[in-house]
Structure 1
Amino acid sequence: MTRILVLYYSSYGHVRALAQAEAEGARSVPGTHVELRRVPETVPEQIRHKAGFAADDTPVASPADLEGYDGLILGTPTLFGMMAGQMKSFLDQAGGLWARNALVGKVAAVFASTGSQHGGHEATLLSSQIPLQHFGMLIAGMPYSFAGQTTAEGIIGGAPYGAGTIAGADGSRAPTETDLAGARFQGAHVARIAARLAGADLSQEAA
């Protein structure tokens, strides 16, 4: 079985909805085992309640868990044009995996939710790939074979760099069916690539 981890951070539920669609897409590929996990919350309960954060009972992952998967699909909201601090903190704790080349040659992808079309959507997708490349992972985007990303009918999220959604300035906008279809497409895309790579050992390549 090819093992895929869909790992995300979500404050208001938009990224969680995309994560569920990513997992659904990955599970559609025969021979794929998918787990859905979130990174630990760092915002105090009082502030989360005041800000109206959505409750989330998805199990929490630890950085050490990443080694057990053939592929990683990572989702984050956009905060000031970058990934959320909770996700960055999680990745910052994976230095031991980096030191052992434990993730080299595995496939990874990213997806994001952003408040507006010009609020850093593509910047977040691209910059979120950077630490994954430091781990030696191979980046899978959302290729144009997903035709939904080229539509001009309405507001949609995502880009060739990954799936996504536009939440609206007040967070009231739910992911569209096109957004969710893009996430399912990306999940299946990653699962198929991971299956092809699972038998190869790229961690021992000579410099």
Structure 2
Amino acid sequence: MPKVFIIFYSLYYHVYTLAQHVQKGLESQGIEVELYQVPETLDDAILEKMHAPAKPDVPVITVDKLKEADGFLFGLPTRFGIFPSQFKSFLDATGGLWSSGALAGKFAGTFFSTASQHGGQETTALTAVTYFAHHGINYVPFGFANAHLFDNSEVVGGSAYGAGTVANGDGSRQPSQKELEIAVTQGENFGKLLVTFHRGQSKLASTENGAAKKQEIVKPDATPATNGDASKKREVKSTPKKQEESKNKCFCM
């Protein structure tokens, strides 16, 4: 089955919580899922002043590890309408993979956390798309695949670009049940796409292998007759016995 890496940066666990629910959706489709966080670029003293909790118990991704996955779902908190410097530092380090085309043809999606409803969840996705385009990664938008995205009765994060949550400026608001359900749906839809794609690839490869094997089959006694063989056949037809029999035949109608 396809393998998907969920790669995120989460300072106050909002994006991490969404990532866990995206994972549920992926696994419901039989996808092999691994969670990673990008390296932190702030030192401990600054993180302490920001009252940041301890990092989630999730391994830190390395650039070369990206080659192992069939697809990625990136959890992007928003800073001034784009993703934060921690994520940019990680993506900027993928130049070697870009030069070798190692990520071309893979799939990617995005999900977000912002302080407010108008904090830039869509612009964060659009700025991430430039990296996908340069790598040749296929970007998979979410659309309005979950009905909660049409709900105007309360604050609901997310957009056509992916699941999302609204954290408030002080991080006091945690992802709502509706936002978590949207995240599960995104994982499900992304998983279905990868399963369909890989089944198609397997079927195509099987068809091509079958055609190649047919071409390798050598037909017996298929060697064309040589000129010598043809002359022998002509000699057989002109034997005296055959000539005598033809004289005695009546060719009347």
Would you call these one fold, judging by a TM-score over 0.5? yes
What is the CA-CA distance between 1:172 and the residue it aligns to? Answer: 0.3
Q: Is 2:7–2:37's contact at 8 Å kept on the other side of the alignment? A: yes
In structure 2, the residue matched to 1:42 is 41
What is the CA-CA distance between 1:200 and the residue it aligns to? Answer: 4.1
Deviations 1:119-177 (A, max 9, x none): 22211122122212211111112122311111112001110011111101111000111
Deviations 1:23-64 (A, max 9, x none): 11111102x110011001111001111211121221111011
Alignment of 1:54-69 (within 5 A): 54-55=53-54, 56-69=56-69
Paired AA for residue 160 in structure 1: A
Alignment of 1:3-82 (within 5 A): 3-30=3-30, 32-55=31-54, 56-82=56-82
In structure 1, the residue matched to 2:144 is 144
In structure 2, the residue matched to 1:205 is none
Deviations 1:54-107 (A, max 9, x none): 212211110111110111000111011110110111011111111111111111
SS in 1 for 2:66: helix
Count of residue pairs the alignment pairs up? 200
Runs of 4+ with deviation above 3 angstroms: 198-201
* TM-score scaled by length of structure 2: 0.76
* TM-score scaled by length of structure 1: 0.92
Paired AA for residue 93 in structure 1: A
**Which stretch has the larger CA shift, 12-21 or 128-137?**
128-137
Paired AA for residue 72 in structure 2: L
Paired AA for residue 49 in structure 1: E
Q: Is 1:83–1:124's contact at 8 Å kept on the other side of the alignment? A: yes
Does 1:115 pair with 2:115?
yes
Q: Is 2:145–2:185's contact at 8 Å kept on the other side of the alignment? A: no
SS in 1 for 2:169: coil
Q: Is 2:148–2:178's contact at 8 Å kept on the other side of the alignment? A: yes
SS in 2 for 1:197: helix
**Which stretch has the larger CA shift, 136-145 or 103-112?**
136-145
- For 1:129 and 1:179, locate their aligned partners in 2 and report how far apart those are by CA, in whole Å: 23
Tell me which of the two structures has the higher relative contact order, counting C-alpha pairs closer than 8 angstroms and 6 or more residues apart.
Answer: 1
Quick check: which one's helix share is greater? 2
Paired AA for residue 40 in structure 1: P
- For 1:73 and 1:86, locate their aligned partners in 2 and report how far apart those are by CA, in whole Å: 16
- For 1:133 and 1:26, locate their aligned partners in 2 and report how far apart those are by CA, in whole Å: 24
What is the CA-CA distance between 1:197 and the residue it aligns to? Answer: 2.6
Quick check: which one's strand share is greater? 1
- Considering only CA atoms, is the larger Rg found in Structure 1 or Structure 2? 2
- For 1:23 and 1:105, locate their aligned partners in 2 and report how far apart those are by CA, in whole Å: 22
